[in-house]
Amino acid sequence: MARRSGIRRTDALIRTERWQALGFITPAVAGLSLFTVVPVALAIIMSLFDWPIFGERTFVGFDNYAELLTSSPDFWPALRNSVVFTVLYVPINLVVALGLALLLGPRIRGRAVFRVLFFIPVVTPIVANVLVWKLILQPDGLLNGLSRTMFGFELPNFLVDANWAMISIVVMSVWAGMGYNMLVLTAALEQLPASVVEAARIDGARGWRILVHITIPLISPAIFFATVMTIISSLQVFAQPQLLTGGGPGTSTMPIVMFIYNTGFKFQDLGLAAAAAWILFALIIGVTALQFRAQKRWVHYEH
């Protein structure tokens, strides 16, 4: 009998806790619904309409998607630019961030100061970063000025040269973004199990072998996290090309988000912009899902 009442009390407690939990979670769920679920649902609906900013809206089914995929002159170049940026930016960012994290290891004096220095571009407004890089990259800027006076050599006009504009954006973005992944990887490096590293050393492993066979596998969860997040953010790149090159020359640096912004807010076609946003969303979800599938092959979790 006593046992039965104990069970009843536990059930009652669970029920009470469930309501309490629901109470605690409600504000977050309400916020999520209001600012995420409803806009997302609206965007799906919007993408099926001819939806001008002002005036009559008409249902057009999948016409917006068809227009983007078959007749919009800027959609494919914009999508290609986002992919090119991601393919260039993500590996460089990760290699630089990992390199910095390894360099600023525990043996460096004043490493905290260096970490702060490398992290400053991450917290500096992107507009300020871009202004500095414009002063460096423009024809009468720092880089060309140095080259001209020291070597008498005229550098290309980086921001309007079709071959250099995207590279300039990637270099600037790596500089601005490397600090974040550096911090993530530094944290992982500081958690390396000393016993494993020690055992490898006793076995005679040194330098490169330790890095490739011990360190990287051990921090692979952090690398995986950094890769997933960096790919997502680089597929959404907007501010750097918008401010640095204005999407030019031609459409060579116009990313898909700039295309969406222009289509929706400059050219007033919200339906077409929503459809493009959904294609980008599908691309990001697809790439992320692939990464999660592939992680089993290379990400090493300590159990």
The residue among 179 and 241 lying less far from another protein, judged by its C-beta, is 241
Interface characters, 230-269, with another protein (x: CB under 8 A): ------------xxxxxxxxxx--x-------x--xxxx-
The residue among 53 and 87 lying less far from another protein, judged by its C-beta, is 53
The residue among 121 and 271 lying less far from another protein, judged by its C-beta, is 271
103 contacts 117 by C-beta, under 8 angstroms: no
Burial of 148 (0-12, 13-18, 19+ CB in 10 A): middle
Q: For another protein, how many residues bind (rule: CB under 8 A)?
A: 43
Interface characters, 67-106, with another protein (x: CB under 8 A): ------xx--------------------------------
Minimum Å gap between C-beta 282 and another protein is 19
Handedness of CA 40, 45, 50, 55 (dihedral sign): negative
Minimum Å gap between C-beta 180 and another protein is 25
The residue among 88 and 270 lying less far from another protein, judged by its C-beta, is 270
Binding of residue 128 to another protein (CB under 8 A):
no
189 contacts 106 by C-beta, under 8 angstroms: no
93 contacts 169 by C-beta, under 8 angstroms: no
Which of 114, 105, 91 is closest to 223 using CA atoms? 91
251 contacts 77 by C-beta, under 8 angstroms: yes
Minimum Å gap between C-beta 291 and another protein is 28
- Within 268-297, which residues bind another protein (CB under 8 A)? 268, 270
Q: Does a cis peptide bond (omega within 30 degrees of 0) precede residue 241?
A: no
Q: What is the largest CA-CA distance in the chain?
A: 97
Interface characters, 133-162, with another protein (x: CB under 8 A): -x---xxx----------------x-xxxx
Tell me if residue 269 falls in helix, strand or coil. Answer: strand
Interhelix angle 220-235/270-298, nearest 10 degrees: 160
Burial of 233 (0-12, 13-18, 19+ CB in 10 A): middle
Backbone φ and ψ of 168, nearest 5°: -60, -40
The residue among 114 and 281 lying less far from another protein, judged by its C-beta, is 281
Minimum Å gap between C-beta 57 and another protein is 7
Residue with tokens 């916020």: 31
The residue among 165 and 226 lying less far from another protein, judged by its C-beta, is 165
89 contacts 174 by C-beta, under 8 angstroms: yes
Minimum Å gap between C-beta 242 and another protein is 7
- Within 27-66, which residues bind another protein (CB under 8 A)? 33, 37-38, 41-42, 45-46, 49, 52-57
The residue among 221 and 246 lying less far from another protein, judged by its C-beta, is 246
Q: Which residues bind another protein (CB under 8 A)?
A: 22, 33, 37-38, 41-42, 45-46, 49, 52-57, 73-74, 134, 138-140, 157, 159-162, 242-251, 254, 262, 265-268, 270
